[in-house]
A = this chain, B = another copy of it.
């Protein structure tokens, strides 16, 4: 409610002096500064965001755009954690987060926050349509992609160390004696899935295990049930299955139960992501943990850095990953 002019009046100084006192400028005497600051405190002064932004051309907002997936299962648990990480970092630096969800197909109309320049930077999380990204470049704001669908290598991005994670997972299975390892994934139309496949293949090769095409099934969306069911009905079924995300691993659980088998006695399962659900399943799922909040805060820190006086550009940063051993992996049967 109290404005800068109320303070000026109370302190018997000019508007400029008040502004300088509050913004810590040098051009002001020490005693008057303290006096003004005290009065501001008493009046519970907070700068009006509009006036400030208008003059400074800074909103102190950063936009976050999330692709509201047609497939809510895999989208939600992952992205809401990333969002938390972003918010936390932004809040720490006194920035606001303005959120937008992209629904359906992009029709060439940028979100309001971008059109009206309500944000100083923007973070895109999840798979985005490429012509949206193209349009977005025209607004020319500091931008950061989090786990993008394709590698927009001219843009800044934070990605997951997918290959290493998958390698870890497969190696762990191999260490347990498994050699017949299934690969259960949604369509390989996302770089994360592709890289996880690559890690799978490399781990096999590294252990001189031949890749059996029958064991890799990467089709459709969230068809983990159908896919592992199909694998289990193979003449020579795998003894372990690696799923490129936890959702599909958990969907796979139902298939192995439907076949009357049990985890990990008959078949071992490993996932990827480490969503909350992974701890609740029976048995709790061994999976590779992705530090989602960290991805978010890295992205936020980066955008904030771009906004600072001397930004250091770093095009793509990869966040590490960790294998979390729970109870869904056991030694291969009859070993």
Contact = CB atoms under 8 A, between A and B. Distances in A.
A318 interface: no
25 contacts: A46-B115, A46-B116, A46-B117, A48-B117, A49-B59, A49-B116, A49-B117, A49-B118, A50-B53, A50-B59, A60-B112, A61-B118, A76-B76, A76-B77, A76-B81, A76-B276, A77-B77, A83-B99, A87-B100, A87-B101, A91-B100, A97-B99, A98-B98, A250-B280, A277-B277
Given A48-B117, A83-B99, 11 more contacts: A46-B116, A47-B116, A49-B59, A50-B54, A51-B54, A76-B76, A76-B77, A87-B99, A87-B100, A96-B98, A97-B98
Interface stretch (A9-17, A158-166, A204-212, A251-259): A251-259
Interface in A52-94: 53-54, 59-61, 64, 68, 72-73, 76-77, 80-81, 83-84, 87-88, 91, 94
A64 B282 CA distance: 35
Nearest to A45: B115
Given A112-B96, A251-B280, A280-B254, A88 B73 contact: no
A24 to B, nearest CB: 18
Range for the number of chain A residues in contact with chain B: 35 or more
Contact of A276 (B46, B72, B84): B72
A313 interface: no
Nearest to A284: B254
A320 interface: no
In this complex, the member of A47, A72, A117, A118 whose beta carbon has the largest number of chain B beta carbons within 10 angstroms is A118
A201 interface: no
Contacts of A61: 98, 118
Interface string A208-235: 0000000000000000000000000000
A112 B99 contact: no
Contacts of A37: none
A96 B118 contact: yes
A103 interface: yes
Nearest 5 pairs between A and B by C-beta?
A50-B54, A49-B116, A80-B80, A50-B53, A46-B115
A317 interface: no
Contacts of A60: 112
A113 interface: yes
Interface in A239-275: 247, 250-251, 253-254, 257
Contacts of A50: 50, 53-54, 59
A164 B68 CA distance: 31
B98 A112 contact: no
Contacts of A101: 84, 87-88, 91
A96 B112 CA distance: 7
Interface in A131-153: none
Nearest to A51: B54
Nearest to A53: B50
B100 A96 contact: yes
